[in-house]
Homo-oligomer: A and B are copies of this chain.
Amino acid sequence: MEKVNIKEKLSLHDDHYVPRIVGELNGQYVKVVKFLGPFVWHHHENEDEMFLVIRGTLRMELRDRVIDLAPGEFLIVPRGVEHRPVAEEEAHVVLFEPASTLNTGDTRNEKTLEQLERI
């Protein structure tokens, strides 16, 4: 049992859209990730997903609207809801989601990551 400093974990890697696991509880993972630019439209069939912004601004595009998240704000995207994260400038984000969650959800492409690193 070790405490985790979120900003310290975020300082370890500079790549984008590569979530890394920093905690696990009750079958859920806590991940850190840096976003830059648009991701892909996708949804998760069986997983709700939480995005907590640590630094920068994250724009969550939904099919019917857009929600802008500042540091200290979070959004829970329910299962089945199509979404596309977009960061015009680099955004640092904590994700909470089930261990089974695939980053690109129902969409598989070159951004899909089957295995995530633990840091």
Contacts and interface: CB of A to CB of B under 8 A. Distances in A.
Total copies of this chain within the assembly = 2
A10 to B, nearest CB: 10
A72 to B, nearest CB: 5
A6 B5 CA distance: 18
Given A23-B50, A25-B49, A4 B73 contact: yes
Q: What 10 A-B pairs have minimum CB-CB distances, sorted nearest first?
A: A25-B48, A3-B75, A25-B76, A5-B73, A26-B48, A6-B72, A3-B73, A23-B76, A4-B74, A26-B98
28 contacts: A1-B62, A1-B67, A1-B77, A1-B78, A1-B81, A3-B67, A3-B74, A3-B75, A4-B73, A4-B74, A4-B76, A5-B72, A6-B72, A6-B73, A7-B72, A23-B74, A24-B76, A25-B48, A25-B50, A25-B78, A25-B96, A25-B97, A26-B47, A26-B48, A26-B97, A28-B28, A28-B96, A30-B76
